[in-house]
Amino acid sequence: MTTDTAVLPTVAPTPHAPTRAHGWLRQLGIDTGYALLAFPLAVVGFAVVVTGLAAGTGLLVVWVGVAVLAATLLAARGFAGVERAWLPGVLGTPLPRPAYRRAEGRAVRRLTTPLRDPQCWLDALHAVLRFPVALVAFVLTVTWWAGTLSGLTYGLWDWALPDASTDPDDTDLLELLGFESSAWSRIALYTLIGAVFAVLLPFVVRGVALLQATLGRVLLTSRAATQAELGRLAEGRDAAVAAEAVALRRLERDIHDGPQQRLVRLGMDLARAQRQLDRDPTPARATLGEAVDLAHEALEELRALSRGIAPPVLADRGLAAALAAVAARSPVPVELAVDLPRERLAPAVEHTAYFVVSEALANVAKHSGATTCRVTVEDDGRGGAVTAPGHGLAGLADRLRAVDGVLTVDSPPGGPTRLVAELPCGS
């Protein structure tokens, strides 16, 4: 639905993306370098961790093993850090880094910190399991690159090899297959083999690189991802509590400054009218009329406050109708474009979206000096909006974080201001 239609701003074209062939070559280089460099590091890591764990376990009876185990886990942590630095380039996505335990307390407690950290043991397990995987990846990568390069360039150096067709002591692949060997037949066969290797090269190298990187992601970043998710949920919970606290304080202030004052005045007028009824009914009727007006004004203010909390139209008719109602009350002309699925969104998402739009339109009316507002949300006011702590936009950001949403504010000096509220629409 739209009201007061306006032309939406044009979107600047995005720069040209790299060609697909360039992306494949770049990824092939990353995967090849990963497989070749990871193998010697895996060998060293396997030797250090296995030796350290064996020695530390054997020396536990004399307590020296505790220090050896701690040093081994710290070494495994170092190898894991190098692996984590490679993983984003191979997997093509950023990965979280785990939060290790900090060494605190007395000397013995600080010494045993790695032994009490689950991630350190996962790092050690990765160093042990990574070795056979890195070995397979290294062998296949070297084999496929050797087959590709030697096959495609065989015609350049066939002359330097013994000729199997003239040397009875030399047998090549063609003769083993029962064919007659000649320079041209050898060049044709080995070039064809090189072409097959070249076609399969990106897939083989990519496959072994993903196999090795997946092992690293599972052991080295899964726990960090869980920690990040728990932190995000805790942050969202804290943001929800903070947003509700701010909303309650604002509601308390609005009730105190508005309906409460009118109700106090109404009580005083009714008491005065009661006293006047015994002496002179005419002033009493005037006082009662003023009381009726005050009661209507207090009722309207309470209705306005209730719309800011949870308007009945939102629960009865959904988000689209509630946004249309709040847009219709805005003193600034509003273009409203709503494109929602037929299924109702989660109540928390609908309430948050309504509150964001309502508060944003209130800020537009109070501060922007705008002549047009679009609920995406964009205005043509003076700009300069910021999410300062304790202000309305900061409260909106807290409410959005509480439901896994994000508020983006783009408000350069001179305007226009753009508020982009992203909410999860899943139920």
Average of per-residue pLDDT values in the chain: 76
CB-CB neighbours of 327 under 10 Å:
22
User: In this prediction, what percent of the chain has a pLDDT beyond 90?
Assistant: 25
What pLDDT does 3 receive? Answer: 38
**Sequence letter at residue 292:** V
Question: Is a pLDDT exceeding 50 seen at residue 16?
Answer: no
Question: Is a pLDDT exceeding 70 seen at residue 178?
Answer: no
Query: What is the mean predicted confidence (pLDDT) over 401-415?
Result: 68
Could you tell me the pLDDT band of residue 169, with boundaries at 50, 70 and 90? low
Token reading at 276 = 């006047």
Instruction: Select the more confidently predicted residue: 324 or 5.
Output: 324
**With contact defined as beta carbons under 8 Å apart, do 215 and 126 qualify?**
yes
Upstream peptide bond of 416 is cis (omega within 30 degrees of 0): yes
Instruction: Select the more confidently predicted residue: 389 or 372.
Output: 372
Domain ranges of the chain: 20-220, 258-309, 316-422
Contacts from 302-309 at CB under 8 Å and sequence distance 24+?
302/259, 305/251, 305/254, 305/255, 305/258, 305/259, 307/358, 308/251, 308/355, 308/358, 309/247, 309/251
Task: For residue 336, give every residue at least 6 positions away whose Cβ sits within 8 Å of its Cβ, in sequence order, or none.
Answer: 1, 2, 3, 323, 324, 327, 374, 375
Give 86-118 as a DSSP string.
Answer: HHHHHHTS------PPP--SSHHHHHTTGGG-H
pTM to 2 decimal places? 0.55
**Dist. CA 364–CA 59, nearest whole Å:** 71
**With contact defined as beta carbons under 8 Å apart, do 313 and 322 qualify?**
yes
Question: Is a pLDDT exceeding 70 seen at residue 391?
Answer: no
What pLDDT does 5 receive? Answer: 33
What pLDDT does 8 receive? Answer: 36
What pLDDT does 34 receive? Answer: 94
69-73, 167-171, 233-237, 330-334: range with highest mean pLDDT: 69-73
Query: What is the mean predicted confidence (pLDDT) over 131-146?
Result: 95
What pLDDT does 383 receive? Answer: 46
Residue 60 has what DSSP assignment? G
**With contact defined as beta carbons under 8 Å apart, do 194 and 150 qualify?**
yes
Upstream peptide bond of 377 is cis (omega within 30 degrees of 0): yes
What pLDDT does 113 receive? Answer: 87
Which tens digits make up the pLDDT trace of 189-220? 888 999 999 999 999 999 999 999 999 998 88
Distance of CA 290 to the CA centre of its chain: 57
Could you tell me the pLDDT band of residue 124, with boundaries at 50, 70 and 90? very high
Question: Is a pLDDT exceeding 70 seen at residue 7?
Answer: no
**Dist. CA 96–CA 119, nearest whole Å:** 13
Give 163-222 as a DSSP string.
Answer: -TTT-TT---HHHHTT----HHHHHHHHHHHHHHHHHHHHHHHHHHHHHHHHHHHHHHTH
**With contact defined as beta carbons under 8 Å apart, do 126 and 219 qualify?**
yes
Which tens digits make up the pLDDT trace of 240-280? 666 666 666 766 776 666 666 677 777 777 887 777 777 77
Tell me, which fold does domain 316-422 have in CATH? Heat Shock Protein 90 (3.30.565)
Question: Is a pLDDT exceeding 90 seen at residue 155?
Answer: no
**With contact defined as beta carbons under 8 Å apart, do 408 and 324 qualify?**
no
Could you tell me the pLDDT band of residue 407, with boundaries at 50, 70 and 90? confident
Query: What is the mean predicted confidence (pLDDT) over 113-119?
Result: 87
210-214, 362-366, 419-423: range with highest mean pLDDT: 210-214
Q: Which of 314, 352, 345, 315 is nearest to 427 (CA)?
A: 345
Token reading at 286 = 């005037």
Instruction: Select the more confidently predicted residue: 416 or 79.
Output: 79
Could you tell me the pLDDT band of residue 44, with boundaries at 50, 70 and 90? very high
What pLDDT does 9 receive? Answer: 39
Whole-angstrom CA distances from 123 to 37, 73, 97, 130, 154 are 18, 7, 12, 10, 44
Query: What does the radius of gyration of the chain's CA atoms come to, in whole angstroms?
Result: 36
